[in-house]
Structure 1
Amino acid sequence: MAESVQEVKQQAKKSMEKALEALQRHFARVRTGRASLALLDGIRVEYYGTPTPLNQVASLSIPEPRLIAIQPWDKSVIPAIEKAILQSELDLNPTNDGNVVRVPIPKLTEERRKELVKVVRGMAEEARVAVRNARREANSELDRLQKEKAISEDDQRRMKDEIQKLTDEYVAKVDQVLKQKEAEIMEV
């Protein structure tokens, strides 16, 4: 009996944690004014007819704060790497010297910074919704357990309070991550 109540809380916490982790992964792909390897995470390169993650055909490094260097293991893949980066929605212009593809990270305009802030706020709202959905699922599970007389009304009420505290905690974490990302974006 007590196990199932704790399981409900653990499941809610796990769902909320996943929402926060997903938000952080999405934020890592948002381009700020500085180089980050996470920026290129979603890029797939056509390699012998197969879309392959960029980090599986080349080594990536950041030699300067505003430059990503891509050293392919097979030089014949350089045009495919450049094409994949150009086709991504990152607005980056790669160049190569025959051995290394260099991706300079341009400074963001004030207008672009404001657009990105709106984008990250939208992502944060999606994460908050996911956290609230986890709360709703946990509460409906508690209602079901109470209806089946597996738990008392007092236990149900106490657990709902705990789940609400958990929800508040994760919404605050989402807000904190958002605040950091906004500051990073607006930093000139």
Structure 2
Amino acid sequence: MPQQLMNQMNEKMDKSINRFSDELVTIRTGRANPTVLNRVLVSYYGVDTPLPQLAQISVPEARQLVVSPYDKGVLGEIEQAIEKANLGFNPTNDGNIIRIAIPALTEDRRKELVKQVKAVAEEAKVAIRNIRRDINDSLKKMDIPEDDKKGYQDDVQKATDAHIKKIDEISAEKEQDIMTV
């Protein structure tokens, strides 16, 4: 039973790290990356729909994104949604596609983005710690010898430390990417 609990814990912690990585992808760096638009929601016939489901997003140049909607009638809504997303972009609509010039990041904006990365990393660490707490509570309720409980709790702590270290590594890599001019 405790081994099954440990497997469940590792699975949950891995999912937390994957969710953290997915969230970091949406934080932009100085280069054009279509994933920064993944969380943009467009009102499409009254339903909030993720932008990638309504349009093809491509990168023709290092500092430009092109959004080609599948339905040209939704072009205006896509443009408004990108502006409302507060990503620091100024989309231009030519009637067929939307071009987004990616402005160079200022030093202040880079520092803001690093703070955002740190906040997201801290949320991920809290999620990992909550998983640790839940597993430890489950272990305490089990009818197993105290020495075994202590050993399992040590294993839980080692897994927690390893996952938090991985979050720190991913976070440091993203911060480095943001601060690189």
- For normalisation by structure 1, the TM-score amounts to 0.92
Q: Deviations over 1:111-158 (max 9, x none)?
A: 11111111111111111111111111111111100xxx2x22122111
Aligned to 2:14: 17
Report whether the alignment pairs 1:166 with 2:159.
Answer: yes
Q: Distance in 2 between matches of 1:109 and 1:99?
A: 31
Q: CA deviation at 1:49?
A: 2.6
Q: CA deviation at 1:174?
A: 0.3
Q: Distance in 2 between matches of 1:13 and 1:87?
A: 38
| Equivalent residue in structure 1 for 2:5, among 5, 8, 11 | 8
Aligned to 1:156: 149
| Alpha-carbon RMSD | 1.2
* Aligned-partner SS, 2:65: strand
Letter in 2 for 1:116: L
Q: Deviations over 1:43-88 (max 9, x none)?
A: 1222223222211221111111211111112212111111110111
Q: Distance in 2 between matches of 1:104 and 1:143?
A: 56
Letter in 1 for 2:170: V
Aligned to 1:181: 174
Q: CA deviation at 1:96?
A: 2.1
Q: Distance in 2 between matches of 1:40 and 1:103?
A: 11
Aligned to 2:91: 94
Report whether the alignment pairs 1:61 with 2:58.
Answer: yes
| Equivalent residue in structure 1 for 2:68, among 68, 71, 77 | 71
* Aligned-partner SS, 2:57: strand
**How many residues of Structure 1 are paired with residues of Structure 2 in the alignment?**
181
Aligned to 2:122: 125
Q: Distance in 1 between matches of 2:23 and 2:81?
A: 19
* Unaligned 5+ runs, structure 2: none
Letter in 1 for 2:19: A
* Aligned-partner SS, 1:31: coil
Q: Distance in 2 between matches of 1:96 and 1:18?
A: 38
* Unaligned 5+ runs, structure 1: none
Aligned to 2:140: 143
Deviates more, 1:66-75 or 1:177-186: 66-75
Q: Distance in 2 between matches of 1:42 and 1:102?
A: 18
